[in-house]
Amino acid sequence: MIIKVSHIGIAVNSIDAMLKLYIEALGLKLAGTEVLADQKVKTAIIPVGESKIELLESTDPEGPIAKFIEKKGEGLHHIALEVPDIRAALAELKKKNIPLIDIEPRRGVENTTIAFLHPKESKILLELVEAKK
């Protein structure tokens, strides 16, 4: 079911401030930024080998990333796992009684389709990602 680690999501107060570390200090390249208005988040994608780092900055003080940072501080938000067919993966997980946040997939950055599993089972927020075809 799992192809690879797609990306690691990191919640930050300021993408611009964090880019100084990842781009200037570590020498990585910024692939791009994107705003998902419906999720109240701005993202920056930084490729690292076959995976990526996804910096997440809230665009709204009431958004999920802002609330996460308020509760837990900046840092690891989620790990995303790439799957070939997100609907099939969700159906299989549902059959196995794995708690899901998203029963139906939704749009993610870079024209992907995503769904989150509830951290109750995995102890960390896991995201499933189906890459654009």
Q: What percent of the chain has pLDDT over 70?
A: 100
Q: What is the rounded CA–CA span in Å between residue 98 and residue 17? A: 37
The pLDDT of 99-125, averaged and rounded, is 95
Would you state the structure tokens that stand for residue 121, as one six-digit string? 């089972």
Domain ranges in the chain are 4-130
Would you state the structure tokens that stand for residue 98, as one six-digit string? 């794995």
Task: Look at residue 133 and tell me whether its pLDDT is greater than 90.
Answer: no
Beta-bridge mates of residue 7: 52, 80
Please state the CATH superfamily assignment of the domain spanning residues 4-130 in this structure. Answer: 2,3-Dihydroxybiphenyl 1,2-Dioxygenase, domain 1 (3.10.180.10)
The one-character DSSP state at 38 is G
Q: Count CB-CB contacts under 10 A for residue 50.
A: 10
Alpha helix locations (H) across 62-127? 64-72, 86-95, 119-122
- For residue 13, the one-letter residue type is N
The pLDDT of 51-64, averaged and rounded, is 98
Average pLDDT along the chain? 96
Q: What is the rounded CA–CA span in Å between residue 80 and residue 46? A: 14
pLDDT at 132: 86
Q: Which residues have CB under 8 Å from 50's CB, separation 6+?
A: 4
The one-character DSSP state at 23 is I
Distances (CA, A) of 82 to 18, 42, 108, 131: 25, 21, 12, 7
